[in-house]
Amino acid sequence: MIDINLIARVAITAIFLWVLLITGKLYLIIKANRFKKEHPNLKSRIYTPNTKIYLIRILSLLLALIFAFYSLFKIKSTEMESTKEFESADVLFVVDVSLSMNAIDVNPNRLKRFKDLALRILPNLKGNRIGIVVFAGQSFSFCPLTSDITAVSDYIQALGVEIVGAKGTDLAVALERVNKIRRKNNNISSQITVIVSDGEDHENQTPPPIVGEVMIWGIGTEEGGPIEYRDPGTGRGGYVTLDAGISESPTTSNLVVSKLNVERLKSLADQNSGVYYDVSFHADGAYALLDKLEIIKKQKIQTIEHFKNEDGAHPFLIAAFIFLFLERLLNLFLQKLPTGIYTLLIVSSFFNLSRLEAWELDPGGNSIERGIKSYHNKNYMESQKEFEKAKEYIRDDPRLLYNESTSAYQLGKYKDAIGLSEKILSHPKADNELKAKANFNLGNIYSRLGDKKNALKSYTKTLEIDPDYLSAKKNIEHLTKKKEEAQKNRGNEPQPNTTQKNNKENKKEEKSDAERILDPFSQDSILKNKKGGSTDNEKFW
């Protein structure tokens, strides 16, 4: 913390030393002027400033320093507040991914029932931020809060009982993580936590209270059912037995039977003033969530922000600037300049006052800033105009070409966007990071045009430059999956004899090409091995 008393002591000492120095200089000027009067023949050879003007200049500077120093003690702190309104909500799903969620008492199993239910209502959650926390023996944030519904869909589909290494069920750890996330986003929007579980808790700890509104979705039956386990790689497996083995038959006598713990889930809902819903066979809980979000839209949330407004020093600072300006103006009159130059300067300045025009120190940079702002406001036409205007001041910069290509893409000018992106790739000043972005954008453009072959090539070039470009990996996998599905659908269609052989060769070539592209990244596939989520939630740029 700044010590105001120390600053005051330093300032007073500096002013005192400066006064001593100026006093000595003033004494020398007075003595020199007297000497000139006593020796008129030396008057033209010795230049000394006018004593009165010099004295007024020194007093002006001294007053400027005193007023500036005094303003430090005249700062008044006033409490102010502003009101902001929000319509969206933060919906955080806390999903149980312990092995018991693979129980088949709910068809096809408990976890898949949640995935189907969540994907069905996901389009209606648009406009809100969605996040997913998963837990078993441990807990982590699987999908960070995001408004990108497409990314959330990918995360939901990737849910599985194998994504948390520690076995067991510890709900308390999961809810502690939820509260940490909520504290980071406090006062931003409404907060709804949806806990999805069968109620089994092997740790049997007391869960902490949850911030915001709470809904409990119970999945399972009180009669229970056997737990199915399949190896994700081979698909082989069966039903878990009491001796930690696997049985191929669901009717074996020593199977582990997992039951829905309704009492525990209802107790958790009561503890947090929430509501319990059984979503095993009915979607009442999902509809209740949508109704809650609709109410939030109608009742805007108001948050009051307090801040301090520093005031009281302005009059003294203005006085300090006035005296400082006067000191600089008097300094001109103390210079040895031709007679009449001061009058000429004052008249010229007065004459040109009416012709003063606003000008920018950095017109090119300001145009880029306005263009980026227009782009984020989805005013792509205005954004493109600003980037073109910036080219008048900034030439031969590949970053500006990249900005132009993004606006052209959003306006549907795909041909222009392709041309600009290719210019970036051949530009001698473009670095690898910019080239990776340009290739990624080319992939998005070709994908939008339906040219999957060129889209895959562009995404692959992106990964050759930057192997950690997650969005490019995701898009390759997305396109490859579509291609494989299309090949399966065409597999049983009759083909004319004249082209059947060529079609088969093309399919084989496409399949091997897709496999070649995905081969280096199969071990860390975005859709198969998400560990805590990605910071890049874009599916297509």
CB-count burial class (<10 Å; 0-12, 13-18, 19+) for 286:
buried
- The DSSP element (H or E) to which 348 belongs, if any, is helix 341-352
List C-alpha distances in Å: 485 to 117, 164, 209.
Answer: 24, 30, 46
Q: How far is Cα 94 from Cα 219, in angstroms, rounded to an integer?
A: 13
Residues 341 and 444 in one domain: no
Q: Which domain holds residue 40?
A: 4-75+312-354
What DSSP designation does 104 have?
A: T
Chain-centre distance of CA 242, in angstroms? Answer: 48
Q: What are phi and psi of 354, to 5 degrees?
A: -75, -10
Chain-centre distance of CA 95, in angstroms? Answer: 25
Is 235 domain-assigned?
no
Which residue reads 């993004």 in tokens? 406
Which band of pLDDT confidence, cut at 50, 70 and 90, is reported for residue 194? Answer: very high
Read off the pLDDT of residues 198-207 as tens digits, 9 standing for 90 and up: 988 766 677 8
Is 213 domain-assigned?
yes
Which residue reads 């929430």 in tokens? 274
Residues 205 and 299 in one domain: yes
When pLDDT is averaged across residues 126-140 and rounded to a whole number, the result is: 90
Q: How far is Cα 224 from Cα 199, in angstroms, rounded to an integer?
A: 12
Omega of the bond prior to 208 within 30 degrees of 0, cis? no
Short-list 342, 406, 337, CA closest to 371 = 406
Determine the pLDDT at residue 133: 93
DSSP labels for 466-524?
A: -TT-HHHHHHHHHHHHHHHHHHHHHTTS---HHHHHHHHHHHHHHHHHHHHHHGGGGGG
Residues 69 and 104 in one domain: no
Residues 203 and 332 in one domain: no
Asked whether the beta carbons of 144 and 194 are under 8 A apart, the reply is no
Is 247 domain-assigned?
no
pLDDT above 90 covers a percentage of the chain that reads 20
- The DSSP element (H or E) to which 214 belongs, if any, is strand 213-218
**Is residue 438 predicted with pLDDT exceeding 80?**
yes
Beta strand pairing status for 275-278 and 213-218? parallel
Residues 92 and 15 in one domain: no
Asked whether the beta carbons of 280 and 221 are under 8 A apart, the reply is yes
What type of residue is 4?
Answer: I
Q: What are phi and psi of 538, to 5 degrees?
A: -80, 135
Is 231 domain-assigned?
no
Residues 451 and 471 in one domain: yes
Residues 68 and 164 in one domain: no
At 10, is the secondary structure helix, strand, or coil? helix
Is 211 domain-assigned?
yes
Read off the pLDDT of residues 54-64 as tens digits, 9 standing for 90 and up: 788 888 888 88
State both tokens at 536: 């890049």
Is 271 domain-assigned?
yes
Read off the pLDDT of residues 475-509 as tens digits, 9 standing for 90 and up: 888 877 766 666 655 555 544 444 444 444 444 44
Which band of pLDDT confidence, cut at 50, 70 and 90, is reported for residue 368? Answer: confident
What type of residue is 125?
Answer: L
Residues 181 and 119 in one domain: yes
Q: In degrees, to the nearest 5, what angle opens at C-alpha 495 toward C-alphas 489 and 501? A: 105
Short-list 16, 118, 110, CA closest to 62 = 16
At 238, is the secondary structure helix, strand, or coil? strand
State both tokens at 44: 């033209």
Is 538 domain-assigned?
no
Q: Could you tell me which residue, 525 or 174, shows the higher pLDDT?
A: 174
Residues 327 and 405 in one domain: no
Q: Into how many domains does the chain fold?
A: 3
Q: How far is Cα 179 from Cα 420, in angstroms, rounded to an integer?
A: 46
Q: How far is Cα 206 from Cα 100, in angstroms, rounded to an integer?
A: 20
Instruction: Assign residue 392 the CATH number of its domain.
Output: 1.25.40.10
Asked whether the beta carbons of 173 and 133 are under 8 A apart, the reply is no
Read off the pLDDT of residues 38-89 as tens digits, 9 standing for 90 and up: 777 776 666 677 778 778 888 888 888 888 877 777 665 555 555 555 567 8
Q: Could you tell me which residue, 506 or 389, shows the higher pLDDT?
A: 389
pTM, whole model, 2 decimals? Answer: 0.45
Instruction: Assign residue 194 the CATH number of its domain.
Output: 3.40.50.410
User: How many residues are listed for the chain in this entry?
Assistant: 541
Beta strand pairing status for 257-258 and 246-247? unpaired
Asked whether the beta carbons of 192 and 212 are under 8 A apart, the reply is yes
What DSSP designation does 189 have?
A: S
Buried b or exposed e, range 202-226, using 16+ CB within 10 angstroms: eeeeebeebbbbbbbbbbbbeebbb
Beta strand pairing status for 139-146 and 246-247? unpaired
Q: How far is Cα 192 from Cα 212, in angstroms, rounded to an integer?
A: 6
**The 3-state secondary structure of 45-83, one letter per residue:** CCCCCCHHHHHHHHHHHHHHHHHHHHHCCCCEEEEEEEE
Is 466 domain-assigned?
yes
Residues 91 and 168 in one domain: yes
Q: What's the number of CA atoms in the CB half-sphere (13 Å) around residue 248?
A: 2
Asked whether the beta carbons of 104 and 250 are under 8 A apart, the reply is yes
Residues 283 and 386 in one domain: no
When pLDDT is averaged across residues 399-420 and rounded to a whole number, the result is: 87
Which band of pLDDT confidence, cut at 50, 70 and 90, is reported for residue 336? Answer: low
What type of residue is 460?
Answer: T
Which band of pLDDT confidence, cut at 50, 70 and 90, is reported for residue 335? Answer: low
List C-alpha distances in Å: 117 to 197, 358, 487.
Answer: 14, 59, 29
Domain end call among 271, 286, 304: 304
CB-count burial class (<10 Å; 0-12, 13-18, 19+) for 47:
exposed
State both tokens at 476: 């390759």
Residues 267 and 370 in one domain: no
Quickly count: other Cβ atoms within 10 Å of residue 98's Cβ. 27
